[in-house]
Amino acid sequence: MLKDITLGQYFPGKSLIHRLDPRTKLIFLVVFIVALFLCSGWVSYCVMLFTLSAAIVLSRVPLKAFFKGLKPLLFILVFTAVLNLFFTAGEKPLFTLGFITVYPEGIIRAVLMLLRIMMLVMATFLLTYTTSPIALTDGLESLLSPLKKIKLPVHELSMMMCIALRFIPTLIEETDKIMSAQKARGADFETGSLIQRVKALVPILIPLFISAFRRADELAIAMESRCYQGGDGRSKMKLLRFKGIDLYVFAFAAVMVAGVCLLKNWGL
């Protein structure tokens, strides 16, 4: 049951998208999302869809993974589509069902909204699927480093993220072990009312927390004995460096935003 958690799942690979600097991918994702919200008409949506499809094909990540990731969002997607379909007013009603009137504009809007949300989510997936968690935290640390000037603990935050990611599988394993131990002693997690089931979780969470604190204590000692003293004076094995290909991506991002703005002006 706990094995299904795919937090920030990474598909190792050597494709063009994998080789991009994590910062490039992060910046491009932000630009892509902004551009997505600037879109208004069919043509501009097609431009965005084409960009995303090209990136997905280039990444060589199986398309199935993207749709699998969309599944938990099914409710929101349907909800948004239905709302837009029924509550968009236009000039000529297509048909009327009781108190609901559907306009052609409503259909168009529903489809476009659906596309917008799907592209938003899939673009984010593309980032986590093609970037290892370590590269991602390194990229974030590097991008946020100007904030150090206003005393934001950027290094500490990225270290925390890195350790959290490192310990997710360890703690999942531990939870499984504790659950088995409690089951062996007759604990019941599957039946009973919601409140009863929540109560049954307490004997799992308490040992889990205690062991997590113990682990944290040991890890802190191990880190200290390896001369860890915070971010000052630390070096990095893998330095982030923008390459030629990253420049092309930035140029493309600029063209994409300019194009979408122009299309918006022309009302497309």
Partner 1 sequence: MDALILEETQVKMAISVENLKFIYPGVDDTPGITVFESLDLKVAEGSFVAIVGSNGCGKSTLAKHFNAIMLPTGGKVYVHGMDSSVEENMIPIRRSTGMVFQNPDNQIVANVVEEDVAFGPENLGVASPAIRKRVDEALKQVGMYAYREHAPHLLSGGQKQRIAIAGIIAMEPKCIVLDEPTAMLDPQGRREVLQTISALNKDKGITVVLITHHMEEAALADRVVVLSKGKVALDGTPREVFSQVDLMHGMGLASPDTVELCHALNQKGFDLSLDSLNTEQCAQAIYDALTC
Binding positions for partner 1, rule: CB under 8 A: 12, 132-134, 162-163, 165-166, 169-170, 173, 215, 218-219, 221-229, 233-239
Least distance CB 162 / partner 1 (angstroms): 6
- Number of neighbours of residue 139 by Cβ within 10 angstroms: 21
> Who's near 90: CB < 8 A, 6+ residues apart?
103, 104, 105, 106
Least distance CB 214 / partner 1 (angstroms): 8
Considering the complex, state which of residue 98 and residue 233 has its C-beta at the smaller distance from partner 1.
Answer: 233
Least distance CB 208 / partner 1 (angstroms): 14
Q: If we measure between CA atoms, which residue out of 16, 35, 4, 13 comes closest to residue 254? A: 35
> What is the Cα–Cα distance from 263 to 122, expressed in whole angstroms?
23
Considering the complex, state which of residue 74 and residue 237 has its C-beta at the smaller distance from partner 1.
Answer: 237
Considering the complex, state which of residue 80 and residue 211 has its C-beta at the smaller distance from partner 1.
Answer: 211
Considering the complex, state which of residue 44 and residue 130 has its C-beta at the smaller distance from partner 1.
Answer: 130
Q: What is the DSSP letter of 97?
A: E
Q: What is the DSSP letter of 232?
A: T
Considering the complex, state which of residue 12 and residue 186 has its C-beta at the smaller distance from partner 1.
Answer: 12
Least distance CB 132 / partner 1 (angstroms): 7
- Number of neighbours of residue 188 by Cβ within 10 angstroms: 11
Least distance CB 191 / partner 1 (angstroms): 32
Tokens representing 219 are 């890890």
Q: What angle do CA 235, 237, 241 make, to 5 degrees?
A: 95
